[in-house]
Amino acid sequence: MKVFVDGQYGTTGLNIHERLNQRNDVELLWISEEQKKDPEIRIKLMNEADIVFLCLPDQAAREAIKLIINPNTRVIDSSTAFRTNEAWTYGLPELSALQRGKIANAARVSVPGCHATAFVLAINPLVQRGILPRDYPVSCHSLTGYSGGGKAFIEQYETGGFSDVNDSLRYPQHYSLKLDHKHLPEMKKFTDLEFQPVFLPTVCNFYNGMVVTVPLVTRLLINQPSLQEIHAALTDYYQGETFVRVIPLDDTKGISQYALDPTLCNGTNYSEIFVLGNDDQVLVACRLDNLGKGSSGAAIQCMNIMLGLDEGFGQTLEE
């Protein structure tokens, strides 16, 4: 299979390239940094490829897709541009029993956002199982590594470019304070919620990793479920899934109140779901690597499904 990564020098593109470079079942079509702005070379490679990964800003992705005229070229896009587009397939295999088959047969797949992936994994089963009302006033908070901001943001963060606001290498910083984060449309659409959640992300002083938390008041849920019933619903929904682990309740009892480390899934395509709290107030938390299951790992998982391969193939980076 011939594969071309358009935007291979960005954070997501580099990560995908690193994973694919270890494999002997794909031929990577390469474009040098000097040639990356040459439209003829770029268009040629895009239309030679069996699979094209678009790792571009939204508008650039919209422009790039118009350049692909080969009907046999399949596209996996990592931007926000097409995630709620009905002509594209949402690249979250664990969304439902049917989603994996849709991805396998798709010509166009949109990889979910990192915050959205964790949120949908945590909440969608509770909506589908009739536990969380579709009109529930959902709130959500995310702690994430600064790599999610992209190449320019990473450079600015690591060089202290935000010191006029705060000491960026010491203190976490809330962002998207207008409550208009670009992941919100997919967070609503793929959980079947009637309203967008109130979502506050926080960028922290670690490179990658993420924990998204959603608090729930059980007296407002359907049939007022216990913590154990919420945990059982999530466990059953993800039974047999390789990359989604619902942590057993017995394993969460020993967790220190300070120990939900956002970085413990780093370097993997795994996501972990925790159900914490008590029968009156429940906290559903999802931990993942924003560069793994939150972007590049998810993209490779989708490619493997589209090619009929094991979903975990090529997911471990060599030391």
Task: Tell me which of 114, 140, 204, 302 is the catalytic residue.
Answer: 114
CA distance 82 to 91: 11
Per the annotation, the verdict on 302 as an active-site residue is no
CA distance 316 to 319: 9
Length of the chain as a residue count: 319
Q: CA separation (Å) from 168 to 10, 154, 175, 310? A: 22, 11, 13, 40
Tokens 């949908």, residue located: 120
Helix, strand, coil percent content, the chain, rounded in steps of 5: 30, 20, 50
Contact present, 100 and 184 (Cβ < 8 Å)? no
CA distance 170 to 156: 14
Backbone angles phi, psi at 5, to 5 degrees: -105, 110
Please choose, from the candidates 311, 288, 316, the residue with its C-alpha nearest in 3D space to the C-alpha of residue 93: 311
SS3 category, 297: helix
Type of residue at 94:
E
Q: Which residues are catalytic?
A: 114
